[in-house]
Amino acid sequence: MYSCSEVLAELSNYLDDEVTAEIRRELEQHVSHCRTCQVIYDSTRKTLRIVTESQSFELPEDVSMRVTKSIMNKVRGATRQDPPNSPTS
């Protein structure tokens, strides 16, 4: 029988389907009896599904927004030092 820490150590492998049949059986046996690991297993699986289904759209958008903002600030700072004539003319 696995302990909680052993279950948690293998949990991500289990969710990725990268464990042997024996480990899988041990994990499932433990999770079916342990309330703590049930909750952790459940929320981890749900989080993974949300991330997978949304194709991690929200996080990259936030990151790209921050990157864009920092680039804009740099461009704005650089433009301020330029002579006041339009680069497109």
Q: How far is the CB of 39 from Zn ion (least distance, A)?
A: 10
What SS3 state is found at 57?
Answer: coil
Please answer whether residues 31 and 41 qualify as being in contact, where contact means their C-beta atoms are separated by less than 8 angstroms.
yes
Q: Which of 4, 65, 67, 72 binds Zn ion (CB under 5 A)?
A: 4
User: What's the token pair of residue 44?
Assistant: 């981890």
Range list of H helices, 1-89 = 4-15, 21-33, 35-53, 58-81
Residue 15 in contact with Zn ion, rule: CB under 5 A: no
Q: Which residues between 23 and 42 bind Zn ion (CB under 5 A)?
A: 34, 36-37
Q: What is the CA radius of gyration of the chain?
A: 24
Count of residues engaged in binding Zn ion, rule: CB under 5 A:
4
Q: How far is the CB of 63 from Zn ion (least distance, A)?
A: 34
- Please give the residue ranges that form the binding site for Zn ion (CB under 5 A): 4, 34, 36-37
